[in-house]
Structure 1
Amino acid sequence: MADGATAGVDAGHLLPVRVYWEDTDGSGIVYHAGYLRFAERARTEFLRALGFDQSTLLNETGIAFAVRRMEIDFLSPARLDDLLEVATSVTDIGGASLSMRQRVERDGRALADMNVKLACMDRRGRPVRLPAAFRAGFAGTMSNQRAVGPRAR
């Protein structure tokens, strides 16, 4: 797997992430937007581990993924120099969408929980159905973890 990524629990994916100054506010605590960057990197590496390089995907098929919805529960702060793990798993596969659960952890303790819905789109930004190869690849990674947060109930 690429760039230090390892297979995660529940047939998902884990990405180690180090917190740098650029990720923090003036007090050394990760700024809330930093979690979005960590989650984006983890989703990208998850796709790459499944054989779906995003630039190749766009150039060869005209397909891209865009975040349609994201819910985040910030549970505890990450700090400068922390070594975090971002766990990513697929919770649902729709006709033209994927739902994922992502969790940022430090030493096994949850810092942020995220529910993410990705739309599969063409170059014009219109929804397109997930190709069969994608469905098969993602189906093999389905998590038995449910989405978290208010909409999960």
Structure 2
Amino acid sequence: MLKSDFRFSTPLRVRWSEADPQGIVFNGHYLNYVDVGVTEYYRALRAAAGAQPGEGLDGSEFFAAKTVLEYKAPALFDDLLDVHMRVAYFGNSSMRFVAAIYRGDELLLSGEVVYVHADQTTRRPTPIPDSFKQNVTTFECVAPEQAAPAVQG
């Protein structure tokens, strides 16, 4: 996993409450760190697209469906981390974020989060709007892979 594959990263400092008595971050907090990365990614994406706060909320939402984290080395209390995020794949109604957390040049964690685009009321999957896919593709330095279109028969 190369840092250069990520256009976006956000800094995060490890807080005392996230570490055990030896000063090592408890593994469950890394998912929170990735979630902060996703939130900040969306903020940066919306700003890059010229969107105002609250604009574009259309009754649909992305819901987390799968998370995979691979721990490489521990973060410690007061470490300054860089949470790197990118959208690596689009399906019809799903997308996959790739995450990497670094302390300086040391990779501490890699992972992915799969989200499904769905109606907020029914929670049924809905296609990801092409405009969203285009904004992400323009924002990224490595274009997300896309599922092949379904064959009509």
The TM-score with structure 1 as length reference comes to: 0.80
1:3-14 alignment, distance < 5 Å = 9-10=4-5, 12-14=7-9
Q: Is the Cα–Cα contact under 8 Å of residues 9 and 37 in structure 2 kept in the other structure?
A: yes
1:138 is matched with which residue: 136, 139, 150? 136
Matched, 1:108 2:111: no
| TM-aligned CA deviation for residue 27 of structure 1 | 2.1
Structural RMSD (CA): 2.4
The structure having more radius of gyration, on CA atoms, is: 2
Unaligned runs of 5+ in 2: 146-153
The residue number in structure 1 matching 2:15 is 20
Secondary structure of 2:43's partner?
A: helix
- The amino acid that maps onto 2:91 is G
| CA–CA separation in structure 2 for the residues paired with 1:86 and 1:27 | 23
Matched, 1:127 2:125: yes
Q: What fraction of aligned residue pairs are identical, expressed as a percent?
A: 26
Distance verdict in 2 for CA 1:19–1:27, change over 3 Å: same
Matched, 1:91 2:97: no
Unaligned runs of 5+ in 1: 1-7, 147-153
| TM-aligned CA deviation for residue 43 of structure 1 | 0.6
Secondary structure of 2:136's partner?
A: helix
Q: Give the total of aligned pairs.
A: 137
| TM-aligned CA deviation for residue 100 of structure 1 | 1.4
Distance verdict in 2 for CA 1:68–1:32, change over 3 Å: same
1:74-89 alignment, distance < 5 Å = 74-89=71-86
The residue number in structure 2 matching 1:72 is 69
More divergent stretch after superposition (90-99 vs 77-86) = 90-99
Distance verdict in 2 for CA 1:74–1:145, change over 3 Å: farther
| CA–CA separation in structure 2 for the residues paired with 1:57 and 1:116 | 24
| CA–CA separation in structure 2 for the residues paired with 1:39 and 1:139 | 20
- The amino acid that maps onto 1:49 is A
